Structure 1
Amino acid sequence: MSYADVNGLSMYYREHGDAPVTEDNPALVLLHGGLSGSDDFAALVPELSAHRRVITADLQGHSHTADVDRPIRVETIGDDVAALIKHLELGKADVMGYSFGGGAALRCAIQHPDAVRKLIVVSFPFRQDGFFEDVRAQQRQMSPESAAFMKQTPAWELYERTAPRPEDFPQLVGKMGEWLQQPFDYSEEIRGLQVPTQLIFADADMYSMQHICDFWALLGGGQRDAGWDGAARPGAHQLAVLPDTTHYAISSSPALAGTAERFLR
């Protein structure tokens, strides 16, 4: 368990596995969801770290990483992740993020393609209106005041147990709520993405199947028959929809590790 000073942030991270980091077997950096922490991937780390080094990191204001005086944005956190990769001298790493962490992973690959070998985005939209409307209505209710109503949730239990300043929880909820109200559309940048990318969604996710298909289309998927030999596939990109799961359960789904592992190999 260590901390790295990156971009004015003291970022908590842990290293798992003892495999040497090489160009052919790079490290895998895992990024958790919003209002959570590295525990998101606790069930998957043993399998993912069996043959490679795995780095789990707590993002700005989450779990062991204290907040700093700046808004929470996936763009700035993407910079933080690239700085952590450089700090640890990992060369090009594979980066996998879930939900909010998926947005940070995506922005890291867009903004720092020299730091990312392969990208896995788990359950994150490319555009703000990808969320179902009832989900967006819930997001609009997130504020420092609403933190009091979350004291019976796993998010608060983790934060109270791990955060250096548990009294900052209302600040985190408020900042996340404010981020969720910011319009975003990464379509054009995704079209130009050169990093091999795997998209993974739940079959009962918080985004419509149309939005998932539109995301896949931005990477060139779903446009034509790949042919008997697969020659017309959309480059090195992949799409996976995991059966019998939801946005909230996908990060611990037994199918997630195997799906990611096949892509990384």
Structure 2
Amino acid sequence: MGYADVNGLRLWYEVHGNGRPLVLLHGGYGAVEMFAPVLPALTARRQVIAVDLQGHGRTADVDRPLRYESLADDVAALLRHLDLPEADVLGYSLGGGVALRTAIQHPGLVRRLVLVSTPCRRQGWYPEVLAAMAAQDERVGEQMRGTPPHELYARIAPRPEDWPRLWARTGELLRREYDWSAEVAALATPTLLVYADADAIPVTHMAHFYGLLGGGHRDAGWDGTDRPASRLAVLPGLTHYDIVASPALPAAVLPFLTHEVRAPQ
């Protein structure tokens, strides 16, 4: 574990386990510790590279706006720094947006993509979630002092006083409109979409996203010949906020990372 100097940023990463590399990208206001409950299951089968994104966890902020696109370039630069020609990438929530942009912008580096509780356009969130995102600023960050995410940040961040700044900059990111539907439809990377059945994203958007990836258009056939390369998992009894800690997550992810993808007919 340590820092990689990439794109003017000292990016914190940790490596756990052995095998084919799997990059983990945390959600907003989080850090690599967000994956602690599922890390043992993942590292039993894979080499896990967990990253603290710009301004989060142990990675100090720099004079650069938070953008999904630049965060994705950081992930790609880290893979090149580690001399990895390709890796599987799993992102959760905000980290899912970064993972998706990594696959879009650097398709040769991403072997398989896992997006957990992630929409492909900003309007894919429920309206009340969008309203909460729009309200995130320094004032809300101050109100979040004493919560578990703040306690973790205060313990590990190079500049704990940047906590309100992180909320302001993340809020500015979350208020920006985006729609990556056309780029998703052109994506060749086999992708697994994972959602909770009570997620912050409507089931209708889950189906739309899966459809863009080639899923849900036809029966797979008795032998699975017409199965799409991408997959969809909706995990029962979970929400957007606890899915990342559930043992159901690695149980859904690991088979996808190892199954053979059929060539298009």
TM-score for both structures, normalised by structure 1: 0.95
Size of the aligned set, in residue pairs, is 258
List 4+ stretches of structure 1 deviating above 3 A: none
Gaps of 5+ in 1: 20-24
Deviations 1:208-251 (A, max 9, x none): 110110000000111111111111112x2111001100000010
Following superposition, the deviation at residue 92 of structure 1 comes to: 0.7
SS in 2 for 1:121: strand
Q: Given the alignment, which residue of 151, 175, 180 partners 2:174? A: 180
Following superposition, the deviation at residue 108 of structure 1 comes to: 0.3
Aligned partners of 2:28, 2:163: CA distance in 1, in Å?
Answer: 12
Once superposed, what is the RMSD of the aligned Cα atoms? 0.9
Residues 26 and 90 in structure 1, CA contact (< 8 A), matched pair in contact too: no
Aligned partners of 1:52, 1:124: CA distance in 2, in Å?
Answer: 23
Aligned partners of 1:61, 1:212: CA distance in 2, in Å?
Answer: 29
Counterpart for residue 41 of structure 1: 35
Aligned partners of 1:264, 1:51: CA distance in 2, in Å?
Answer: 10
Following superposition, the deviation at residue 57 of structure 1 comes to: 0.6
Following superposition, the deviation at residue 73 of structure 1 comes to: 1.0
Deviations 1:117-171 (A, max 9, x none): 1100111111111111111111111111221100132221111111000111111
Counterpart for residue 5 of structure 2: 5
Gaps of 5+ in 2: 259-265
Alignment partner of 1:251 is 2:244 = yes
Counterpart for residue 22 of structure 1: none
Q: Given the alignment, which residue of 217, 223, 239 partners 2:217? A: 223
Aligned partners of 2:2, 2:200: CA distance in 1, in Å?
Answer: 34
Aligned partners of 1:162, 1:252: CA distance in 2, in Å?
Answer: 20
Alignment partner of 1:146 is 2:123 = no
TM-score for both structures, normalised by structure 2: 0.95
Aligned partners of 1:205, 1:178: CA distance in 2, in Å?
Answer: 23
Letter of the aligned partner of 1:8 in structure 2?
Answer: G
Identical-residue share of aligned pairs (%):
53
Aligned partners of 1:209, 1:171: CA distance in 2, in Å?
Answer: 33
Residues 28 and 53 in structure 1, CA contact (< 8 A), matched pair in contact too: yes
Deviations 1:181-233 (A, max 9, x none): 10000000000001111100000000111011000000011111111111111
